Amino acid sequence: MVLPIIIGLAAVGGISFLGKRFVTKYLQWQQLQKIKIPTTYKYHKELSDYGNRLPREYIGTGFQSNMTFSEAKLILNMRNSSFTDTEIKKAHRQLMKTNHPDGGGSQLLATKINEAKEILMRDAKKT
């Protein structure tokens, strides 16, 4: 008499656990679809300024060992020649939401995003 109740409760618990796991993974997958970090691939949707093509010096190079100002602008997707601290912080926050290591993002990308923010903030304070 008690055995069917125990089996039923175990089944409900297992289904709810798997359902929660599925929903969590689905939400993580949705966040990965929103990543808009400029990459060094030949084509990228966000780089309409270049006609969906990167300048020749960025094709297939990956990250540079010492980040330059232009690479920092590409990473944070800052297209204007002048920008404010708030614009830099907003772009940084947006990228870190989807690429933070605690949320399943890459440690390397998070480091490069932080480094790009520091370079652009340093330059914004000079002007």
Domain edges within the chain: 1-33, 35-126
Structure tokens at 38: 């400029």
pLDDT at 45: 42
Q: Which residues of 60-97 are buried (b: 16+ CB within 10 A; e: fewer)?
A: eeeeeeeeeeebbbbbbebeeeebeeeebeebbebbbe
CA–CA separation, 60 vs 54, rounded Å? Answer: 10
Helix (H) or strand (E) holding 93: helix 85-99
Instruction: Check if CATH label 2.60.40.10 holds for domain 35-126.
Output: no
Helix (H) or strand (E) run with residue 116 in it: helix 107-126
- Residue 98, phi then psi, degrees to nearest 5: -95, -20
The pLDDT value recorded for residue 44 is: 41
Supply the pLDDT for residue 66: 81
Contact at 8 Å (CB) between 121 and 76? no
Residue type, 95: L
Residue 89 and residue 125: Cα distance in Å, rounded? 13
8 A C-beta contact, residue 14 and residue 22: no
What pLDDT score was predicted for residue 37?
Answer: 54
Per-residue pLDDT 10s for the chain (127 aa) are: 788 888 888 888 888 888 888 888 888 877 777 665 555 444 444 444 444 444 545 445 566 678 888 888 888 888 777 788 888 898 899 888 888 888 887 888 888 889 989 988 887 776 6
